[in-house]
Amino acid sequence: MYADSQNDITRLVVRCAQLLLAYGAESDLVEEISQRLGKALGLASIELSISSNALVLTSLVHGRCITTTRRIRAHGINMMVICELQRICLLTEKGIYGANEVRRRLAHIKPKSYPAIAVVPMIGLSCASFCHLFDGDLIACVITFFASAIGMMVRLFLASRHFNLLVNFSLTAFVITAFAQMGYLWPITQTPQAAMAASVLMLVPGFPLINAISDMVKGHMNVGISRWGHATLLTLASVIGITIAMQMGGIF
Amino acid sequence: MLSFLNLLLHDAFFSAIPAVGFAMVFNVPKRYLVYCAIAGAIGHSSRTLLLQFSMPIEWATFVAAALVGLITIRFAKRHLAPPLMYAVAAIIPMVPGTYAFNTVIALIQLTAQSQVSPELTAQVIVNGLKTVFILGALAVGLALPSLLYYRTRPII
C-alpha cells in the first residue's frame, strides 16, 4: 500500500468515527466500526483514543503510522446516520464496497430528521400515556398532552435558532411547567401532580444517561463520566426552569 | 387472571406509544419504528409483571432490560442495524424520570432553606439512590448479552 492511499483510507475511517460520535453513538460501537472499516479497507490496525470532545486516530500499515485528530461537535442524536454508517462498514467487510464507494456514501450522508408536524403530536401522546401510567385521570392526560406538545414546539424552535442546549432545556421546562400548573390553579382534575410529573419527562436525557453508563461499563471511563456530567447538567437546567415556573405559580 | 392479562396488555399499549415517540426524537428510520414499539411494550409490561410479584423495582428493571437486550439483538441481526438503536427507545418508558426530577427538586428546595431539614434530605437520598440504581440496572441489563455471550466477537 502506498503512502497516499493510506492517507486516504485513514481520512475515510476518521470521518466515519467523527460522524458516529457527533450523532450520539456509544464509544464501544465507534471503536468497533472504525477498526472493522479500517481492516476491511486494507489497514493493519486502527487505534482510537476518544475524549469528550475530540478524537485521535492512528492507522498502521507496513510499519508506517499516521495519526490524526478531529474535533467533535455534538449534533444531537440521529440514528439514521449511525444505521447508515454501520451498513457501510458491513458492506465494505463483505467486499462489496471499496474505498471509492465508501467515500461516495460518506459524502452523501445527510442527517434527516422527522418533521415537526409529526414529532410534536407524538411527544404529546407519549407524555400523555406516561401520565396515564402514573394513574392520572383523563383531564390530566389532556393537560399533559398540550403542555408537552407546546414544550416540544419551543424546544424545536430554540434548537433551530442554535441556542445552547442548557438554555433550551431551561426555557422549555419553564413553559411546560407553567402550562401544566393549570390543574392546580383550577379544580378541573383530581390528579394535578401526575400531569406535572409526566409532562416534563420529555426532557429527561435518557439517551446520554444510558450511553454514559454503558461506556463506563465497557471501559471508556472518561467519555462515560463526561456524558454523565452533561446529562446531569441538562437535568439541572430543566429543574431550574421548573422551579422558577412553580414559584411564579405559587405552588411551593 | 383475566384482569391481570388486561393490565399487562394495557401496560404494553401505553408503553409502546412513548417508545415510538422518543424513537422519532432520536430519528430512528421509519421502517424500524414498529420494532422499537414491540421491544418497548415487552420490556415495560414484563417489568410490571415482575413488580406484581413484589420484586424490588431495581431487580425487575434489570431483568426487563436484559430481556429487551436479547430481543433487540435478534432485531439487529435481522436488519443489520446497531442494537442500541432499538434498545434505547425501548427502555425510555422505564427510565426513572420521576425519581430524577424529585431528587433535584428536593435538592433545590434544600438550597432555598436556611437550615437542613431531615425530610428533604431523606427525599434527596432515597430518590437519588433509586435513580442511580435503576439507571445502572437498565444499562447493565441492556449490555448483559454482549457482556456474557458476545464477549470476543461483534454482534453483527
B154 within some domain: no
Q: Would you say A111 and A20 are in contact if contact means Cβ atoms under 8 Å apart?
A: no
Mean pLDDT of A56-78: 92
Give the closest-approach CA distance of A136 to chain B in angstroms: 13
**More confident of the two residues A176 and A187:** A176
Q: What is the mean pLDDT of residues A164-176?
A: 95
- Report the percent of chain B where pLDDT is more than 70: 100
What number is the average pLDDT over the span A201-211? 87
Q: What is the mean pLDDT of residues A71-75?
A: 89
Chain A residues within 8 A of B148 when measuring between CB atoms: none
Which of A87, A93, A131, A201 best probes binding to B when mutated, by most B CB atoms within 10 angstroms? A201
How many structural domains compose chain B?
1
Give the pLDDT confidence score for residue B147 in this predicted structure. Answer: 86
Question: What is residue B36's predicted lDDT score, i.e. its pLDDT?
Answer: 94
In tens, the pLDDT along B73-111 reads 999 999 988 888 899 899 999 988 788 778 877 887 888
C-alpha of A46 from chain center: 25
Residue B153 lies inside a defined structural domain of this protein: no
In a domain, B156, yes or no: no
Q: Tell whether B34 is within 8 A of chain A (Cβ).
A: no
- For residue B6, tell me if it sits in a domain: yes
Q: Mean pLDDT score of chain A, rounded to an integer?
A: 91
Taking only residues 59 to 98 of chain B, the set having a beta carbon closer than 8 angstroms to any beta carbon of chain A reads 80-82, 84-85, 88, 91-93, 95, 97-98
A147 pLDDT above the threshold of 70:
yes
Which residues of A are less than 8 Å from B100 in CB distance? 204, 235
Boundaries of domain holding B79: 2-148
pLDDT digits (tens, 9 = 90+) for B134-143: 988 998 899 8
Among the listed ranges A13-22, A28-37, A61-70, A189-198, which one has the minimum average pLDDT value? A189-198
The mean per-residue pLDDT over the stretch A136-164 comes to 93
Please tell me the distance in Å from B54's CA to the nearest CA on chain A. 18
The verdict on residue B85 lying in a domain is yes
> What average pLDDT does this structure show over B104-119?
84
Sorting pLDDT into bands at 50, 70 and 90, what band is A252?
low
- Residue-level pLDDT at A64: 92
Is residue B26 in a domain?
yes
**CB nearest B138 (choices: A79, A210, A236):** A210
Task: Report B:108-137 residues touching A (Cβ under 8 A).
Answer: 108-109, 135-136
Within-domain flag for B138? yes
A229 pLDDT above the threshold of 90: yes
User: Which pLDDT score, from 0 to 100, does residue A190 have?
Assistant: 87
Residue B97 forms part of a structural domain:
yes
Q: Please state, in angstroms and rounded to a whole number, the distance separating the CA atoms of residues A30 and A222.
A: 15
- pLDDT band (50, 70, 90) for residue A1: low
Amino acid at B29: P
Q: Does A70 touch chain B (CB under 8 A)?
A: no
Out of A29, A209, A235, the one facing B82 most closely (by C-beta) is A29
- Calculate what percentage of chain B has a pLDDT beyond 90: 64
Dist. CA A224–CA A237, nearest whole Å? 20
